[in-house]
Amino acid sequence: MADCKNEQMGIVQIADKQGTDERINMSITDVMYWLDKMQEKDRLIYTKEEIERLNRQIYCRCLETGDMFDIKEIVKEYSPAVWPGICISRADVKKKLGAWQESPCDWTEKDGDNQITVLLPNEPVVIVRESLCKEWYYLYARNAAGWVRKDCIADCGGSDCDIQQRNGRQPDFYVITASRWRTECNPKDKCVSQIPLYMGTILKKCNEKEFAGIPYNGNIAALFPVKNQNGQYEERAIQLTQAAGAVCGFLPCTAENILKLTFSMLGEVYGWGGSLDSRDCSMMVHDIFACFGICLPKDTTGLQSLKGLDIFMDLTSYSKEEKEQILTRLRPGAVLGFPGHVMIYLGKTGQDYYVISQTGHFYQKTDTEFEKVTVNSCVVNSLSVYRKNEKTWLNSLTYCLLYDF
């Protein structure tokens, strides 16, 4: 069997089950290749009401498992010992700080397990305490708890009003759907100049009064959270160009939209827990579905805790043939997973089923070798690739999320 890989494009081409070397051409890296194979690709998978009900189920389950936190309740119960804040830039969340004076100075990039996740601008938090070095806050967000740099957080002045307002339910808000984007250069206000924004970020609409004095040029006006000289939360008007992919309200949850958002990340570097200014597999899935208003856990453990909910299909006891039957019927855009990894399903081509995900590596088997392929990128690959335990990704599948037939 002649396996070959194109590492430059992150594509794996694997011989089919009949033994012929079926070379899938580069069109599989084009989202239209997969969309053209679909029928009713613009059909709504979940309505707004269904998403709200779904979020309540996810939230209640994750509160039980400790994968999410009720930050409003934390403020209510422990104030004034804790106080609310707002994230003003993409912020790494760390499990622990260094040994001396709670400073990260003796932490190295090799300690990858120290990275929990990242927070996005406008995410509400509850600040619990300050580090001895005065550079970090220990805080709670909806999806994480850990240490975050103080310069990434603005103090909301002891009021929880901002937490209640920033849940994406206000009638006038924008969602960033570009994978990454930077605000335009603004020499008059460096607080909002060249600020990186990421998929899933929610920003309030800017009214005419707030937008006064800023050249419009046909761009979208939004409000961005900043920290004033006193460390307190303020909002400043910014412009969103078309490249930001800003949409008013959440996107309709369709297979077409899921795949278009996913393919916008193709080729991006893999970042464990959101490190390297990027995403890992679960954060990729989280940010994609955030554009539809679906609030998922940010790690694979949290996703697996959703077992028993309507959106979760347990595949643990299914045979390979039964999994293939499900995949043949499954609508592209569903989330597939096994312990430690999640991916977005694309469909079937030739004899193989394909997915796209942020992944570090996988294995390929030949008659004479079992080879590790290091990827560290968002790639398209077949489910016939292997894990270290010599099981294929297909055989390893244990669940399916947000599925539709």
pLDDT tens, residue by residue, 20-65 = 334 445 589 999 999 999 999 999 999 999 999 999 999 999 999 9
pLDDT tens, residue by residue, 229-242 = 888 999 998 888 88
Domains of the chain: 4-46+296-401 (3.90.1720), 67-164 (2.30.30), 173-248 (no CATH)
Is residue 5 over pLDDT 80?
no
Residue keyed to tokens 């070397």: 21
**Confidence (pLDDT) at 187:** 84
Any idea which of 149-158, 164-173, 222-231, 250-259 has the lowest mean pLDDT?
A: 164-173
Is residue 7 over pLDDT 50?
no
Element (DSSP H or E) covering residue 378: strand 370-382
What confidence tier does 215 reach under pLDDT thresholds 50, 70, 90?
Answer: low
What does the angle CA 215 – CA 221 – CA 186 come to, to the nearest 5 degrees?
A: 50
Highest-confidence range of 153-162, 218-227, 262-271, by mean pLDDT? 262-271
pLDDT tens, residue by residue, 191-202 = 888 999 999 999
Any idea which of 11-15, 243-247, 275-279 has the lowest mean pLDDT?
A: 11-15
Percent of the chain clearing pLDDT 90 (strictly above): 68
Is residue 80 over pLDDT 90?
no
**Confidence (pLDDT) at 343:** 98
3-state SS of 92-156 is: EEECCCCCCCCCHHHCCCCCHHHEEEEECCCCEEEEEEECCCCCEEEEEECCCEEEEEHHHEEEC
pLDDT tens, residue by residue, 265-282 = 999 999 999 999 999 999
Q: Which residues pair with 196 in a beta bridge?
A: 182
- Rounded to an integer, the average pLDDT of 197-212 is 81
CB 37 within 8 A of CB 389: no
**Confidence (pLDDT) at 159:** 55
Dig out the tokens for 268 from the structure: 């991006």
- Rounded to an integer, the average pLDDT of 72-81 is 86
Is 49 exposed, middle or buried (CB count within 10 Å of its CB: 0-12, 13-18, 19+)?
A: exposed
What confidence tier does 210 reach under pLDDT thresholds 50, 70, 90?
Answer: low
- Rounded to an integer, the average pLDDT of 359-386 is 94
What confidence tier does 258 reach under pLDDT thresholds 50, 70, 90?
Answer: very high
Mean confidence (pLDDT) of the chain: 86
**Confidence (pLDDT) at 327:** 97
Percent of the chain clearing pLDDT 70 (strictly above): 84
Dig out the tokens for 331 from the structure: 């609508």
Higher pLDDT, 158 or 106: 158
**Confidence (pLDDT) at 217:** 66
